[in-house]
Amino acid sequence: MNSPNRRTAFTLVELLVVIAIIGVLVGLLLPAVQAAREAARRMSCSNNFKQIGLGYHNYHSAFNSLPMQSGGTWLKNVTSNATNRSFISTLVMITPFVEQQALWQAISQGDVTYGAMGPPPWDTNFEPWVTELATLRCPSDPGKGLPARARSNYAVCQGDHMRLVNSGGRNHRGWYQSTDDDNAQITGNATTDDSTTAVRARQTNRGMFWARHFTKFSSVIDGLSNTIMAGEVCTGIGQREIQADNVYNVADALVKDASISVKTCLDQIDPQRPAFIRVGVAVGGDVTNTIGRGHMWADGRLQYTGFQTILPPNKPSCFRGTDASQGMSTAGSRHQGGAHVLMGDGAVKFITDSIEAGDLSLTPTPGGGSPYGLWGSLGTRGSNEVVGEF
């Protein structure tokens, strides 16, 4: 006998089971895909840093010194912006060593309006200052476009102190100037040196880079492999994040002539939302939109292309005034759990947020090791600290 015809098809239950299984598999797969994407971005970021490290080493080979942070041409005419007034970052100086020869020529030759090395880095009429470079951006950082002029996620290490670090002790005419506590006369107009300021600046500028001064690898007596040359910084997306927004107009206790107060900066954190800055505290966008963290790659001030090894990565950055003032810039990144640093020997390492940071209630003293533990020790060039594995 012929067997009866039988329909072959999925039942509704079977179809729902298959859909459920596919949904579970997709749910398991997506985190792995996201993790793989972030791993690729982190590797690209590390490669950018290695390229920048080669740029610094090649510059040193060519000129027998590191490029000057907040360097360039000194102000001659007090009323003129025809020069860059010694506000140029080290990143400008290494452009010919990171495959940016055309941009370097445009900067070094100037144009019909501005002379060689261009105007101050906040002058948006000078095209190079608003040209963003892929080499200076971490792919994990989502910040882009206005109000920034041209962003950077890489900053040089300027030690473990706040006092006289943003200016290096010198005004924009090249003289050591007797200071006030807010801006350390970074834009002062004295034409003679104040010896007290010169001595104090030498004591407090303990990093591989010293603003408005040249440093050399030979001055890094702690060893290049034990000293941080540069580190990552975040740029803001307008959300008042502690690792991506500068806090401005902080209490005077933050930086005094004889002491600094890290707690004053930590007090700016919202206790209810510890990843964010307290409501009512002024950040970059509340003061002037353009003075956000990392918003000008060509500017040598701490707020844009410098940091100190005081607070561990991804903690707040605070200043007594705005972007010409004294304060503290902190390393940070969008990578989970820490940030990359570039060591003096060119090695790129990942530093976790939990790195040992010593006693934050203390102030560094001349001739003493950093009070900020392993993190602080890595940021000083000549304090003779013993640095183990990290």
Quick check: 317 and 269 in contact, CB under 8 A?
A: no
pLDDT given for residue 78 in this prediction: 66
Full pLDDT tens readout for the chain, 390 residues: 555 555 566 677 777 888 888 888 777 766 666 667 777 888 889 999 999 999 999 999 999 999 999 999 988 776 677 789 999 999 999 999 998 999 999 999 887 788 889 999 999 899 999 999 999 999 998 888 788 889 999 999 999 999 999 999 999 999 999 876 666 789 888 899 999 999 999 999 999 999 999 999 999 999 999 999 999 999 988 889 999 999 999 988 899 888 999 999 999 999 999 999 999 888 876 666 678 888 999 999 999 999 999 999 999 999 998 888 999 999 999 999 999 999 999 999 999 999 999 999 999 998 888 999 999 999 999 877 766 666
Q: Is the dihedral of CA 19, 22, 26, 27 positive or negative?
A: positive
CA distance 239 to 66: 35
Strands 306-307 and 154-157: parallel
Sheet with 228-232: strands ordered across: 306-307, 154-157, 228-232, 338-343, 348-352
Determine how many CB atoms are found less than 10 A away from the CB of residue 131: 15
Quick check: 218 and 256 in contact, CB under 8 A?
A: no
**CB-count exposure of residue 291 (10 Å: 0-12, 13-18, 19+):** buried
pLDDT given for residue 113 in this prediction: 83
CA distance 382 to 272: 40
**CB-count exposure of residue 25 (10 Å: 0-12, 13-18, 19+):** exposed
pLDDT given for residue 257 in this prediction: 85
Q: Give the predicted TM-score (pTM) of the model.
A: 0.88
Quick check: 378 and 227 in contact, CB under 8 A?
A: yes
pLDDT given for residue 116 in this prediction: 87
DSSP state of 68: P
pLDDT given for residue 96 in this prediction: 95
Nearest-CA neighbor of 291 among 210, 133, 282? 282
pLDDT given for residue 195 in this prediction: 92
Q: Is the dihedral of CA 217, 220, 223, 226 positive or negative?
A: negative
Q: Is the dihedral of CA 296, 302, 308, 311 positive or negative?
A: negative
pLDDT given for residue 15 in this prediction: 78
pLDDT given for residue 300 in this prediction: 95
